[in-house]
Structure 1
Amino acid sequence: MTRGNQRDLARQKNQKKQADLTKGKRTDNLTVEQRKARDAELMREKQKKKEEAAAAGTSK
């Protein structure tokens, strides 16, 4: 190998660059409104479960 580690360094640099380009991008293809609605529904379900657990815990 007459090129030394030049190929490996270039590969590592490119991998880091590609990772930085895709960082923060969402893959769920939802609009902001759809995402907010989904998250709100999840939070409502979570809150309901928490309230039920609290009610069950206090009625011992």
Structure 2
Amino acid sequence: MARGNQREKAREKNLKAQSAQKSKNAKSGTEMQRDKEAVAEMMRKKQAAADAKRAAAAAGGK
């Protein structure tokens, strides 16, 4: 029983931390879609650069 107060304090601290966390996405559908498109475009550019680098290495190595 000596730990009862300690458990209660830990439980209160945990509840406070959980309530402070962001629980869900606050973006609207259009904002989410726009962000997804931007990330997809960055990844396409990155993949194209990697493909070009790989092609240049293959052409140079032959």
TM-score, normalised by the number of residues in structure 2: 0.59
Larger helix share, 1 or 2: 2
Distance between the aligned counterparts of 1:13 and 1:45, measured in 2?
43
Match of 1:41 in 2: 38
Q: 1:30 aligns with which of 1, 11, 27?
A: 27
Q: Does 1:13 align with 2:11?
A: yes
Give the root-mean-square deviation of aligned CA atoms.
Answer: 2.5
Structure 1 unmatched ranges of 5 or more:
none
Q: 1:36 to 1:59 in 2, by over 3 A?
A: same
Question: Looking at CA atoms only, which structure, 1 or 2, has the larger radius of gyration?
Answer: 2
Quick one: percent identity of the two aligned structures?
Answer: 11
